[in-house]
Amino acid sequence: MMAARNVLVVMIMLWSVATNAHPATLPPLPKLDLSNTFPAVGTQIRKADAAALARPDDPDAVGELGMVLDAYQQYAAAGICYRRAHLLSPSTFSWAYDLAYVEMKLGRYHDASAAFEVALEIRPDYLPATLNLAECLLSTGQLPESRDLFEAIIKKYPENPEAYYGLGRIEIQQGSMDDAALALKKAIEIFPQYGGAHYALAMVYRKMGQPDKAKEHFAAYQKNVTANPPEVDPLRAAVQQLDQTPLRYLERGVALEQAGDLEGSIEAHVKAAQLDPSFEQPHINLIQLYARTGKIAEAEEQYRIAVRLNPHRSDCYYNYGVLMFELGKYAEAEGAFRKAIASNPFYAQAHNNLGFLLQQQGRRNEALAEFREAVKDKPDYRLARFHVGLILANQGDYSGAIEQFRMILEPDDAETPTYLHALATTYARAGDVPNALVYMRKARTEAQKKEQPQLLPGIDRDLKALETDVSRR
């Protein structure tokens, strides 16, 4: 990290340039090509550009043009605007920080580091700037300086998963695999869906010669490839809010759904569909969003629109199938799941749901075939394996059922007690009382640990029957 004295020199130089700045020494405003933009986006950019051209020495007008360009990933042009705005107003934190951010996005990590240093001199308490500076230093191989920042963040914000993730990657580069594992596990403990941390930890366990753990975390990574901790960065949020593209509204809608704001998610999806009437994904997502908020007529209308736009989208038929199932319209649900599979024969969830419907109708062999297809398409699909095991057990194939149940005991989560109980029951039916007792007791312990009292009566009844059987022998 740059010493404080050097940072001060940079600040003085920037202040000097700004104090003596005139149009000849400031970077000129960028020339923009808007020929391939959405109409609403083009109008938005032209308005900001006109304001900046009318007031080229107004840092707010110039900086706001930078924000609009930044929102659409026009980082080079945005950087020019931010630099000009910063030179015009060196004490304004937002222009210094936004300049540093776009330098980072452009991969100019040395320049970004220097710019983040300047921004932090203005506002030392802005956590995202410190995190980004630590990341830039890590990217340029300045590991001790990066470590100092990550450790300072952890000391002040002990529940910050990004800092532990950064520290873990430093430990990897320095060959300290045990310490890396500790840091990465902490990051995952704080944010269990942290895809990057799972991947890094999988690589650590691989180097440590622990393939089972490596496989577990790589599977978790594959489920959460793009999942990162929620970003708390008001300045970047202000930039992102300017993005008026349909894709950005779709992304907002998905994020709002994940945060539990279904009405906000619906509003964002509707806006995405309005901006681009040919964009089918918002309509597909709205099927399940409207269904979950009890707006059945609206959900069905979105299904019809989506099918008109693209009759080959398997997720459209799948969402409609779930809606029909929840309405008790099982024939329509079965038809929808079959259409989903026709569009995508490898749609594991559709095979599983179709299998469940067939099982409910007593068509066990057909159901088993669908569950097997689901497992074939998605080998870690625990629910489908559970259904395979149940059918095999009911058909008297206890060894086959036991094999399936044993494969779904990991990862240890809320479903594990149910799967342990099924395994124990199958061992009992197969006459293997010792194993039945072992797994029945494990099922009881896990149900208590996970606060699932609804499972205990059944487990206790079966456990008592096993213990009675043993006592009579």
Q: How many CB atoms lie within 10 A of CB 232?
A: 10
- Running DSSP on this structure, what letter comes out for residue 31? P
Rounded Cα gap, residues 282 and 249, in angstroms = 9
From CA 177, how far away is CA 470, in angstroms rounded?
47
| Residue 49 structure tokens | 């550009």
> What H or E segment, with its residue span, contains residue 51?
helix 39-54
Which own/partner pairs from 308-311 qualify as long-range (CB within 8 Å, at least 24 positions apart)? 309/278, 309/280, 309/283, 310/280
Closest alpha carbon to 375 in 357, 396, 358, 389? 389
| Spatial distance between the Cα atoms of 116 and 134, rounded to a whole number of angstroms | 10
453, 48, 396, 36: which is closest to 242 by C-alpha?
Answer: 48
Counted residue by residue, the chain has a size of: 473
Token pair listed for 439: 């797994």
- State the Cα–Cα distance between residues 414 and 446, nearest whole angstrom: 9
On whether the CB atoms of residues 441 and 403 are closer than 8 A, the answer is no
H or E element at residue 371: helix 364-377
Q: Are 65 and 51 in contact (CB under 8 A)?
A: yes
Element (H, E) at 85: helix 75-88
Q: Tokens standing for 454?
A: 């609804």
Describe the crossing of helices 211-223 and 195-207 by its angle, rounded to 10 degrees: 160
Buried b (16+ CB within 10 A) or exposed e, 392-430: bbeeebbebbbebbebbbeeeeebbbbbbbbbbbbbbeb
Q: Residue 187 in contact with residue 197, Cβ under 8 Å?
A: yes
CATH architecture of 382-472: Alpha Horseshoe (1.25)
CATH class of 312-379: mainly alpha
The answer to whether 195 and 224 are in contact (CB under 8 A) is: yes
CB burial of residue 20 (10 Å; 0-12, 13-18, 19+): exposed
End-to-end CA distance of the chain: 73
Residue 23: in which H helix or E strand, if any? Answer: none
Closest CA to 111 of 85, 132, 90, 84: 132
Tokens of 3: 């010493």
Report domain 39-223's class.
Answer: mainly alpha
Q: Where are the domains of the chain?
A: 39-223, 245-310, 312-379, 382-472
Going residue by residue through the chain (473 aa), what tens digit of pLDDT does each one get?
333 333 333 332 333 334 344 544 899 999 998 888 888 889 999 999 999 999 999 999 999 999 999 999 999 999 999 999 999 999 999 999 999 999 999 999 999 999 999 999 999 999 999 999 999 999 999 999 999 999 999 999 999 999 999 999 999 999 999 999 999 999 999 999 999 999 999 999 999 999 989 988 998 898 888 888 888 899 999 999 899 889 989 998 998 898 789 999 999 999 999 989 999 999 999 999 999 999 999 999 999 999 999 999 999 999 999 999 999 999 999 999 999 999 999 999 999 999 999 999 999 999 999 999 999 999 989 999 999 999 999 999 999 999 999 999 988 889 999 999 999 999 999 999 999 999 999 999 999 999 999 999 999 999 999 988 887 77
Residue 450 DSSP class:
T
- Which residues touch 355 (CB under 8 Å, ≥6 apart)? 366, 367, 368, 369, 370, 371, 374, 384, 387
Residue matched to tokens 């490839």: 225
Burial of 122 (0-12, 13-18, 19+ CB in 10 A): middle
Tokens encoding 428: 């009992």
Secondary structure of residue 148 in the 3-state scheme: helix
pTM above 0.95, yes or no: no
Q: Burial of 37 by CB count in 10 Å (0-12 exposed, 13-18 middle, 19+ buried)?
A: middle
Helix (H, G, I), strand (E, B) or coil at 160: coil
Q: Which of 175, 164, 235 is nearest to 208 (CA)?
A: 175
Distance CA 86, CA 97 (A): 9
Q: What is the DSSP letter of 29?
A: P
- Number of other residues whose CB lies within 10 A of the CB of residue 218: 17
DSSP 244: -
Interatomic CA distance for residues 455 and 462, integer angstroms: 11
258 half-sphere exposure, CB direction, 13 A CA radius: 11
The runs of H, that is alpha helices, within 174-279 are 177-190, 195-207, 211-223, 234-240, 246-258, 262-275
What CATH class is the domain 245-310? mainly alpha
- Do 245-310 and 312-379 have matching folds? yes
**Predicted pLDDT of residue 91:** 97
